[in-house]
Amino acid sequence: MKITKSYLLILLTIIAIILVFLVNPFQEDLWDLNAKLLKEQVLSIDETNEEVILTDITPFEWDAAYSFTPYTSKEKIYQTIGYKWDNISETVDEGMNQIVFVKDGKVVCYLYGYPANNGFGIYFAGTEHKDGAAIIYAKDNLNFKVEERDKILYLSHN
């Protein structure tokens, strides 16, 4: 059987399409997807709520959440979390959030940036920062105070 150029082109096109669906280079990372879901959940909090339990509003499972102080290096974050993953940035200002949610030792949500840009901020105010990181655990069902300032929603653990 003789293979024509058009037959070969069709076959290669079909293989390329199958590979795109299997590998999907445009697929969003789990931590980015969960960050968007968390943002939707936080921004939908009823204004009358004075407090929320963080585990009640996170649309994913997590064991621990780490809040890093400004200017914490990537290497220190990787060391604290226990492994490296893509797309991490170092904070460059005092007012930025850098929070990593972990489940079974893997990052499941990564929040980064200014609350003004994200529409919300989460702070572990009542938690001591040790070596640049504060850690909270989902099993503790911690209450977070809900406060809106300048149309930005803030959740703070007291």
Give 12-45 pLDDT, tens digit per residue: 667 656 655 555 454 567 878 999 999 999 999 9
Residue 3 lies in a domain: no
Q: Is residue 18 part of a domain?
A: no
Please count the structural domains in the chain: 1
Mean pLDDT taken over the chain: 83
Q: What is the pLDDT of residue 127?
A: 60
Contacts of 134 (CB under 8 A, 6+ apart): 66, 67, 124, 127, 128
Phi-psi region of 120 (alpha: psi -120 to 50; beta: other; left: phi over 0): beta
Helix (H, G, I), strand (E, B) or coil at 27: coil
Q: Which residue has better confidence, 60 or 28?
A: 60
In the sheet that 51-53 helps form, which strands lie side by side, from edge to edge?
Answer: 51-53, 143-149, 152-156, 120-123
Average pLDDT on 85-106 reads: 85
Residue 9 lies in a domain: no
Q: What is the average per-residue pLDDT within 94-117?
A: 91
Type and span of the H or E element at 121: strand 120-123
> Which residue range is the domain that position 115 belongs to?
28-156
Closest CA to 46 of 38, 55, 57: 57
